[in-house]
Amino acid sequence: MNAEYVFRTPGPMASALEGVSLFFAGSGYEQADGGGPNALTFLRGSRWQRVLSLRIEEWPTTLRVLLLDISEEETGVLLRYNVQTGLHLIGALDKAALEAETALLEDYLLTGRRRSLAEEIAPLRRPVLIATVLNMIIAVAVVTWIGVMGDFSLPWVAVAACGVAFLDGVVIMAFADLVLEGAQQAPRLRDPGDVSRVSADQRPGPSESA
């Protein structure tokens, strides 16, 4: 999976370079060689976690950060993710996690405040995982009850229960991704802080709003 995000941050390139390095060093990444004068390369995750974990931030990831010299007072930051997803189905929740990490970097460069990605993405991730686990447990219970009542062989009942639970989990996660993707595309009100920064000459006058 490849993903790319870009934003601007106040300050010279040297300051942004140091901030990016400090942020990812404290976020589970290891810095790799060969980044270049205006670029940094980071590595994270492992092959075992790609099998055992459902969290995209624990899978093998190569992150390349490019810094763009816009002016003496502003620097552009470009993040290019390359995530080895294996057999995982990638959805809106996984993309939201990477986008959230980019937003946390932007906030860190602006304020110096470090926030946990796991905590910030939990309100999105926790309901999906809870719903998935509950449905899988219910599926196992129902299939097992049917198998026992029908006097089927227990090994085959176990195989059937695991298969149904897996498919049920995939369906629930896919449904949650569709809901999340639809919610992200729905129109939203501006943040009050953004609205307050709109200058008076940009707002429509009485004749324009009539």
> What CATH number does residue 7 fall under?
3.30.530.20
Q: Are residues 129 and 100 in the same domain?
A: no
Q: Are residues 94 and 138 in the same domain?
A: no
The pLDDT assigned to 179 comes to 73
Q: Are residues 96 and 139 in the same domain?
A: no
204-to-45, 81, 153, 191 alpha-carbon distances in Å: 51, 41, 74, 19
The pLDDT assigned to 43 comes to 94
pLDDT at 122 over 80: yes
The pLDDT assigned to 73 comes to 87
Question: Under a CB-based contact definition with an 8 Å cutoff, are residues 57 and 100 in contact?
Answer: no
pLDDT at 7 over 50: yes
Pairing of strands 30-32, 74-83: unpaired
Portion of the chain with pLDDT greater than 70, in percent? 85
Residue range(s) defining the domain that contains residue 153: 124-186
Taking only the tens place, the pLDDT of each residue in 185-201 is 666 556 555 544 444 44
Judge whether 207 lies within some domain: no
Label residue 35 by pLDDT band (50, 70, 90). Answer: low
Q: Are residues 108 and 7 in the same domain?
A: yes
Taking only the tens place, the pLDDT of each residue in 68-102 is 988 888 999 999 999 998 877 788 888 889 999 99
Domain boundary among 84, 115, 146: 115
The pLDDT assigned to 102 comes to 94
Q: Are residues 139 and 51 in the same domain?
A: no
Q: Are residues 105 and 160 in the same domain?
A: no
Mean pLDDT confidence for 179-189: 67
Tally of domains in the chain: 2
Judge whether 33 lies within some domain: yes
Sign, CA dihedral 82-85-89-93, equals negative
The pLDDT assigned to 82 comes to 95
The pLDDT assigned to 183 comes to 67
**CB hemisphere CA count around 37 (13 angstroms):** 2
The pLDDT assigned to 192 comes to 52
How far apart are alpha carbons 101 and 208 in whole angstroms?
41
Average pLDDT of the residues of the chain: 83
Q: Are residues 48 and 105 in the same domain?
A: yes
The pLDDT assigned to 199 comes to 46
Q: Are residues 71 and 164 in the same domain?
A: no
